[in-house]
Structure 1
Amino acid sequence: MCQRDLSDKQWDILQPLLPPQRPRTGRPAFDHRPFLNGILWILRTGAPWRDLPARYGKWASVYSRFRRWTLSGIWGSVLAELQRIGDANGSIDWEKHYVDGTTIRAHQCAAGARGGQATQALGRSRGGFTTKIHLRAEGNGKPLVFVLSSGERHESRYLEWLVVLGQVKRSGAGRPRVRPKKLVGDKGYSYPSLRDKLRRRGITPIIPTKSNQETEDIFDPALYRERNKVERAMNRIKRYRRIATRYEKLACMYAGMIFLACILEWL
């Protein structure tokens, strides 16, 4: 086993959340653990799929299963279950959440998807051919939900999506938890319309005002300084070279890589 493969502790947590090893019909699937370690090797190194070491299995088989699991939403389900477990253990801080966005440079091989780049969260910004990750982190700095857009899109356009999509199921009865008491963001989110939408949802916006806006009485400078938690969460995700540079043509496949990085944060 490679030093950076899944540890036994991580595997014990992850294994019950994966599809069964032996399907109802057909041949038994290739062992999940080397398959996952192979994907994590690609995620970590950013190497082409054909360069996958033989110890993880055939590259085509690993890629094919990664694609099937991505399109069927398995990675999102695993992340949601890990967050549910974390919430049950009291690991999620619902007092305050943080939002931010980061621009990712896309490699030339990310171009050429059917339907055009606009449908695959790719565009042109000052940084060139880029995509953008919009992230919401809980109070302890762990990623809750992300949204992809083309690189030239402004962060403020996706704040409402980050709030609506960040649902965590409860262990018992009751509706999923979604709303923090306070939401912290930078001046890029300083729009009266966004503040009003947050307040209507019962969320207190902790967002500094621009120089041409009236100062907010409820602004908390001490809490705002903790916004670095979402920036650090973003940097931890971008440690993986397959995320720091986008190589995938399809937005869903790139999102699959981000889901894996978020899953590792919760293990």
Structure 2
Amino acid sequence: METSVARDLMTNEEWAFFERFIHPARAPNGRKPTNHRLVLDGIFWIARTGAPWRDLPEEFGKWSSVYRQFRRWTLAGLWEEIMEALNGSGAVPDALQMIESTVIPMRRSRKKRVGVDRSLYRLRNLVERCFNKLKKARRVATRYEKTAESFLGFVDIMSIRLWLRHLST
């Protein structure tokens, strides 16, 4: 039985967005750059399945090459650069981009009462739903990564993908 890796690959619109940020450059050893779309699809596959890097299907290229490129992009701050571009695009109102956790109302037995912005509190479910969507990526939900940078890289990647899919609807 043959399994298909085609499930949940990037759409052409998603690739068109990511392609602006990925600058193909020759490696120091003079090799041509790899197919960055396949590498990015491989990273998304790892994020979604939570599989070890060594179990990456060959269709995405050598697992070590995909991992090495993921680490390069993560350490270079590529994911943060993309998040900043999305944030600066104005595509989503500022009120929906960040909801502070202090909007949770206090218990009635609390001596000191603090006011709560009820309209902001109603938006809290958006944050909870976002966390649930992020947890669909097993790599994020189970925190398999050994380094904080890689874990945050996967959180950023999945957040970017959620944001792009939200904007396309």
Does TM-score exceed 0.5, indicating one fold?
Answer: yes
The one-letter amino acid of 2:81's match is S
The one-letter amino acid of 1:225's match is R
Match of 2:141 in 1: 244
The one-letter amino acid of 1:253's match is S
Give yes or no for contact 1:43–1:241 (8 Å, CA) kept in 2: yes
The one-letter amino acid of 1:227's match is R
Match of 2:94 in 1: 93
Alpha-carbon deviation of 1:212?
Answer: 2.2
Equivalent residue for 2:126, pick from 212, 221, 229: 229
Q: Once the two structures are superposed, what CA deviation does each residue of 1:48-86 show, in whole Å capped at 9, x if it has no partner?
A: 11111111000010001111111111111112112222x
Runs of 4+ in 1 over 6 A off after TM superposition: none
Bigger share in strand: 1
> Distance between the aligned counterparts of 2:47 and 2:116, measured in 1?
39
Identity %: 40
Bigger share in helix: 2
Give yes or no for contact 2:27–2:33 (8 Å, CA) kept in 1: no
- TM (norm. structure 2) is 0.83
Match of 1:125 in 2: none
> Distance between the aligned counterparts of 1:220 and 1:82, measured in 2?
27
Answering whether residue 15 of structure 2 is matched by residue 23 of structure 1, we say: no
* 2:132 match: secondary structure: helix
The one-letter amino acid of 2:126's match is K
Output aligned runs, 1:107-186, within 5 Å. 139=96, 184-185=100-101
- Unaligned 5+ segments in structure 2 are 165-169
- Unaligned 5+ segments in structure 1 are 95-138, 145-182, 190-205
Match of 1:4 in 2: 8
Alpha-carbon deviation of 1:221?
Answer: 3.5
Match of 1:71 in 2: 75
Give yes or no for contact 2:49–2:138 (8 Å, CA) kept in 1: yes
> Distance between the aligned counterparts of 1:7 and 1:223, measured in 2?
33
Match of 2:150 in 1: 253
- RMSD after superposition: 2.0
- TM (norm. structure 1) is 0.54
